[in-house]
Amino acid sequence: MRTNLDLTPFYRSSIGFDRIFDLLENASVNADKWPPFNILKLGEDTYRIAIAVAGFAESELTITHEAKMLVVNGAKSEDDEALYLHQGLPVRSFVRRFELADHVIVEGAKLENGLLLINLKKETPVEMKSRRIAIQAETAKAASKQIEGAKA
């Protein structure tokens, strides 16, 4: 379902959110629904993508982590010798792209029971984490001088 959302007012009143608006505009462009996949949240900062890749061997799958993009390719070799009486399993090549947020890294991937499982983790850099700032109190001498000055 495509909705014609006009984001022009947001472009006029916000700065630095271009990437978010591009994601919203392009969300419905990826109409290819094959292969099916799930995105799971395993913990506060851990995720898993499970892609159904039945019929693909490990050597026929490639995973590439580009800048803020995870690309999964499946290249099925054509078997010219096989004569199918019925072919119900889709074995076509595919490219599936996932937009990743800042600081999301790929921890690993495995092929298990026809599912390609890709583990992701969001690692916030130390300089971006919240921290407590100590408040420095004035020294005792400065306070006593101030009191003496008020008496005079």
Specify the CATH number for the domain of residue 68.
2.60.40.790
- CA distances for 36 relative to 11, 33, 95, 111, 140, angstroms: 33, 6, 12, 15, 69
* Residue 57 within a domain: yes
Number of structural domains the chain divides into? 1
* Residue 39 within a domain: yes
| Domain region containing 49 | 31-76+91-124
* Residue 84 within a domain: no
User: 40-96, pLDDT tens digit by residue?
Assistant: 999 999 999 999 998 888 999 999 998 888 999 999 877 667 787 887 877 788 999
User: 12-46, pLDDT tens digit by residue?
Assistant: 666 666 666 666 666 555 556 788 999 999 999 99
CA distance 108 to 80: 34
* Residue 111 within a domain: yes
Helix intervals (H) in the chain: 8-13, 18-26, 140-151
- Whether the link from the prior residue into 35 is cis, omega within 30° of 0, is yes
* Residue 117 within a domain: yes
CA distance 41 to 30: 22
* Residue 105 within a domain: yes
Instruction: Take residue 59 and report the two structure tokens written for it.
Output: 């050597």
- pTM of this prediction? 0.64
* Residue 151 within a domain: no
Instruction: Take residue 110 and report the two structure tokens written for it.
Output: 């495995």
* Residue 5 within a domain: no
